[in-house]
């Protein structure tokens, strides 16, 4: 009985982590440089900042342009667009050859938040992707080479595949769901097919709906593992789960203009590598606590669902 004492606190701890994360957490920014003057605009989805009482005081301090002085800044809600818009003006001592931008928006949103920035000087456009693992970037106003663009998009897809608790929850459920090597490959193919189909379709749905649906899909998969060990069509549930995650990639592609091919390639490589490592470790274990772990996943996914539908 002692081995059961860890299950409840672990379930609640992991549920709290999942509930405070988002599958789709993206904001966009625009930079216009005119000589030594810089104008910045931020568009933040309203559902990301529902807990903020003062968006101007709590969002703008998390964007910085080192070497420039901020002259002003303000934020205003735009309910019709379900977003908060912020603007600020900055001044350099002399016209810069490049612009450095730093974002710590993940500190006031969620850890896997992505801030996509488009920058323009004259007619030259550059782009930066800022997140927890790379919070600062240099905008050189030099068009990217094809190789640089492909790498940036590949890396963004890879990070999205393993960036937060929801994504890791999906992968953990897949490892538990496979009852044989053959089924493991079938589930991986179903998951990848669902991701690709949803990403290429490019249909965007409300993030809250996607997260609630994903939480229910994971919960159903955990129920199958617990109570329907002989279920034959587990791959179909996994395909739906993959499609729901693919909607997050579709949102990234839509906001950034990235190539779906490179985003998916990065996501596939990162997810399959982690799945392979997880399966290898699982198969090396002297015993498989499938049911206790499935119960933990069920608790997490249901808590995540209730948080998004009832409390968020």
Asked if 258 and 252 count as a contact pair (C-beta separation under 8 A), the reply is yes
pLDDT band, residue 35 (cuts 50/70/90): very high
pLDDT for residue 37: 97
Mean pLDDT of 66-80: 94
DSSP alpha helix (H) spans, 37-180: 55-59, 146-162, 165-177
Asked if 253 and 198 count as a contact pair (C-beta separation under 8 A), the reply is no
* Cα–Cα–Cα angle for 228, 186, 231, rounded to 5 degrees: 15
Instruction: Reply yes or no on whether the pLDDT at 70 is more than 70.
Output: yes
Q: What would the pLDDT profile of 2-34 be if each residue is shown by its tens digit? A: 444 444 444 444 444 444 556 778 999 999 999
Asked if 167 and 24 count as a contact pair (C-beta separation under 8 A), the reply is no
Distance CA 51, CA 62 (A): 16
Question: Sign (positive/negative) of CA torsion 74, 79, 84, 90?
Answer: negative
Long-range pairs of 284-292 with CB within 8 A, sequence gap ≥ 24 = 290/176, 290/225, 291/225, 291/226, 292/4, 292/7
Q: What would the pLDDT profile of 139-150 be if each residue is shown by its tens digit? A: 988 878 899 999
Asked if 118 and 101 count as a contact pair (C-beta separation under 8 A), the reply is no
Name residues whose C-beta falls within 8 Å of residue 152's C-beta, 6 or more positions apart in sequence: 127, 129, 144, 258
Mean pLDDT of 274-293: 90
3-state secondary structure 58-84: HHHHHEECCCEEEEEEEEEEEHHHCEE
Q: What would the pLDDT profile of 225-269 be if each residue is shown by its tens digit? A: 999 888 888 999 999 999 999 998 999 999 888 999 999 999 999
What's the token pair of residue 5?
């004492």
- To the question of pTM greater than 0.85 for the whole model, the response is no
Angle of helix 260-284 relative to helix 234-256, nearest 10 degrees? 140
Write down the mean pLDDT value for the chain. 87
User: Could you give phi then psi for residue 130, rounded to 5 degrees?
Assistant: -115, 135
């Amino acid at each position: 009985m002692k081995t059961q004492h860890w299950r409840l606190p672990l379930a609640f701890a992991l549920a709290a982590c999942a509930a405070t994360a988002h599958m789709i957490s993206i904001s966009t920014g625009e930079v216009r440089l005119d000589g030594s003057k810089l104008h910045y605009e931020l568009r933040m989805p309203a559902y990301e900042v529902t807990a903020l009482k003062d968006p101007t005081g709590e969002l703008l301090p998390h964007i910085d342009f080192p070497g420039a002085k901020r002259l002003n800044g303000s934020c205003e809600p735009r309910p019709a667009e379900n977003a908060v818009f912020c603007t600020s003006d900055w001044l350099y001592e002399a016209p810069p050859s490049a612009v450095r931008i730093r974002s710590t928006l993940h500190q006031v949103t969620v850890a896997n938040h992505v801030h996509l920035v488009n920058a323009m000087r004259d007619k030259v456009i550059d782009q930066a992707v800022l997140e927890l693992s790379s919070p600062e970037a240099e905008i050189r106003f030099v068009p990217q080479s094809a190789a640089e663009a492909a790498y940036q998009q590949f890396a963004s897809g890879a990070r999205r595949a393993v960036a937060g608790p929801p994504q890791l929850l999906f992968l953990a459920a897949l490892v538990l769901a496979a009852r044989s090597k053959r089924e493991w490959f079938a589930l991986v193919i179903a998951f990848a097919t669902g991701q690709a189909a949803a990403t290429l379709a490019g249909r965007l749905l409300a993030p809250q709906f996607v997260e609630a649906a994903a939480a229910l899909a994971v919960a159903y998969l955990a129920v199958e593992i617990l109570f329907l060990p002989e279920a034959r069509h587990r791959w179909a549930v996994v395909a739906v789960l993959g499609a729901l995650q693919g909607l997050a990639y579709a949102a990234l592609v839509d906001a950034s203009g990235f190539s779906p091919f490179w985003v998916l390639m990065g996501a596939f490589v990162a997810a399959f590598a982690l799945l392979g490592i997880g399966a290898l470790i699982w198969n090396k274990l002297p015993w498989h606590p499938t049911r206790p772990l499935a119960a933990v996943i069920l608790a997490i996914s249901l808590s995540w669902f209730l948080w998004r539908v009832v409390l968020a």
